[in-house]
Amino acid sequence: MDVVSMTLRGRAGAAALRAKYGRDEVAAWMRAGRDRKYLLQVDPRGELPEVERQRRADDARRADMLALAQRSRVARAARKAENDNARIRAIVDPPAVCPVCVPFNERPRWSTSRYCAAHLPRR
Ligand SMILES: [Zn+2]
Protein backbone atom coordinates (compact mmCIF):
# COMPACT_ATOMS: atom_id res chain seq x y z
CA MET A 1 0.00 0.00 0.00
CA ASP A 2 1.40 3.38 -0.96
CA VAL A 3 2.08 6.21 1.47
CA VAL A 4 -0.88 8.32 0.44
CA SER A 5 -3.31 5.39 0.82
CA MET A 6 -1.89 4.57 4.25
CA THR A 7 -2.13 8.21 5.32
CA LEU A 8 -5.75 8.49 4.21
CA ARG A 9 -6.63 5.18 5.87
CA GLY A 10 -5.04 6.34 9.13
CA ARG A 11 -6.79 9.70 9.00
CA ALA A 12 -10.12 8.02 8.28
CA GLY A 13 -9.60 5.67 11.25
CA ALA A 14 -8.70 8.56 13.55
CA ALA A 15 -11.76 10.53 12.42
CA ALA A 16 -13.99 7.48 13.04
CA LEU A 17 -12.51 7.11 16.53
CA ARG A 18 -13.16 10.79 17.34
CA ALA A 19 -16.68 10.49 15.93
CA LYS A 20 -17.38 7.55 18.25
CA TYR A 21 -15.82 8.84 21.49
CA GLY A 22 -15.48 12.62 21.05
CA ARG A 23 -12.27 14.44 20.29
CA ASP A 24 -11.55 15.57 23.85
CA GLU A 25 -11.78 12.00 25.12
CA VAL A 26 -9.52 10.67 22.35
CA ALA A 27 -7.03 13.52 22.86
CA ALA A 28 -6.88 12.66 26.59
CA TRP A 29 -6.03 9.01 25.75
CA MET A 30 -3.35 10.13 23.34
CA ARG A 31 -1.80 12.48 25.90
CA ALA A 32 -1.90 9.78 28.59
CA GLY A 33 -0.28 7.29 26.21
CA ARG A 34 2.42 9.77 25.24
CA ASP A 35 3.19 10.63 28.86
CA ARG A 36 3.37 6.89 29.73
CA LYS A 37 5.71 6.30 26.80
CA TYR A 38 8.22 8.92 27.94
CA LEU A 39 8.00 7.93 31.61
CA LEU A 40 8.73 4.31 30.64
CA GLN A 41 11.53 5.43 28.34
CA VAL A 42 13.38 7.42 31.02
CA ASP A 43 12.63 5.16 33.98
CA PRO A 44 11.50 1.67 32.87
CA ARG A 45 11.73 0.18 36.40
CA GLY A 46 10.27 3.13 38.29
CA GLU A 47 13.39 3.73 40.40
CA LEU A 48 13.63 7.52 40.14
CA PRO A 49 11.95 10.04 42.47
CA GLU A 50 8.69 11.31 40.95
CA VAL A 51 9.92 14.88 40.34
CA GLU A 52 13.03 13.63 38.53
CA ARG A 53 10.99 11.12 36.48
CA GLN A 54 8.70 13.89 35.28
CA ARG A 55 11.59 16.19 34.50
CA ARG A 56 13.37 13.54 32.46
CA ALA A 57 10.16 12.56 30.66
CA ASP A 58 9.66 16.23 29.73
CA ASP A 59 13.20 16.37 28.36
CA ALA A 60 12.70 13.12 26.41
CA ARG A 61 9.54 14.56 24.87
CA ARG A 62 11.35 17.83 24.10
CA ALA A 63 14.17 15.88 22.44
CA ASP A 64 11.64 14.06 20.21
CA MET A 65 9.86 17.31 19.31
CA LEU A 66 13.15 19.04 18.45
CA ALA A 67 14.19 16.08 16.28
CA LEU A 68 10.82 16.33 14.50
CA ALA A 69 11.33 20.07 14.05
CA GLN A 70 14.71 19.40 12.48
CA ARG A 71 13.29 16.79 10.07
CA SER A 72 10.50 19.19 9.17
CA ARG A 73 12.99 21.97 8.54
CA VAL A 74 15.07 19.76 6.23
CA ALA A 75 11.94 18.64 4.35
CA ARG A 76 10.71 22.22 3.95
CA ALA A 77 14.13 23.37 2.70
CA ALA A 78 14.15 20.50 0.17
CA ARG A 79 10.66 21.41 -1.05
CA LYS A 80 11.63 25.07 -1.32
CA ALA A 81 14.81 24.25 -3.26
CA GLU A 82 12.79 22.06 -5.65
CA ASN A 83 10.25 24.85 -6.14
CA ASP A 84 12.97 27.48 -6.70
CA ASN A 85 14.69 25.22 -9.24
CA ALA A 86 11.44 24.73 -11.12
CA ARG A 87 10.84 28.49 -11.24
CA ILE A 88 14.36 29.23 -12.45
CA ARG A 89 14.11 26.47 -15.07
CA ALA A 90 10.81 27.92 -16.29
CA ILE A 91 12.40 31.37 -16.72
CA VAL A 92 15.68 30.23 -18.28
CA ASP A 93 14.12 27.63 -20.56
CA PRO A 94 10.36 28.22 -20.69
CA PRO A 95 8.19 25.45 -22.10
CA ALA A 96 6.84 26.10 -25.58
CA VAL A 97 3.14 25.59 -26.21
CA CYS A 98 1.03 25.92 -29.32
CA PRO A 99 -1.22 28.95 -28.84
CA VAL A 100 -4.01 27.28 -30.87
CA CYS A 101 -3.98 23.93 -29.06
CA VAL A 102 -3.59 25.33 -25.53
CA PRO A 103 -6.04 28.04 -24.39
CA PHE A 104 -4.40 31.06 -22.80
CA ASN A 105 -5.69 30.30 -19.30
CA GLU A 106 -4.30 26.74 -19.46
CA ARG A 107 -0.76 27.68 -20.47
CA PRO A 108 2.04 27.46 -17.89
CA ARG A 109 2.74 30.74 -16.14
CA TRP A 110 6.06 31.13 -17.99
CA SER A 111 5.83 29.80 -21.51
CA THR A 112 6.64 30.74 -25.06
CA SER A 113 4.45 30.29 -28.10
CA ARG A 114 5.44 27.77 -30.75
CA TYR A 115 2.88 26.59 -33.26
CA CYS A 116 2.61 22.83 -33.62
CA ALA A 117 2.85 21.23 -37.07
CA ALA A 118 -0.94 21.29 -37.48
CA HIS A 119 -1.27 25.02 -36.72
CA LEU A 120 1.89 26.35 -38.29
CA PRO A 121 0.80 29.56 -40.11
CA ARG A 122 1.17 29.36 -43.89
CA ARG A 123 3.14 32.06 -45.63
ZN1 LIG B 1 -1.54 23.39 -32.33
On whether both 25 and 60 belong to a single domain, the answer is yes
The gap from C-alpha 97 to its chain's centroid, in whole angstroms, comes to 32
> What is the pTM for the complete model shown?
0.60
**Cα dist from 67 to 61, 64, 71, whole Å:** 10, 5, 6
User: How far apart are the CA of 102 and the centre of ligand 1, in A?
Assistant: 7
On whether both 81 and 116 belong to a single domain, the answer is no
pLDDT number for residue 108? 86
On whether both 56 and 80 belong to a single domain, the answer is yes
Tally of structural domains, the chain:
2
Q: Tell me which residues of the chain have a pLDDT lower than 70.
A: none
Summarize pLDDT for 62-89 with one digit per residue, the tens.
Answer: 999 999 999 999 999 999 999 899 888 8
Rounded Cα distance between 46 and 49, Å, is: 8
User: How far apart are the CA of 113 and the centre of ligand 1, in A?
Assistant: 10
On whether both 74 and 32 belong to a single domain, the answer is yes
Q: What are phi and psi of 39, to 5 degrees?
A: -65, -45
pLDDT number for residue 59? 98
What residues flank ion ligand 1 with Cβ within 5 A? 98, 100-101, 116, 119
Give residue 107's domain range.
93-123
Rounded Cα distance between 73 and 80, Å, is: 10
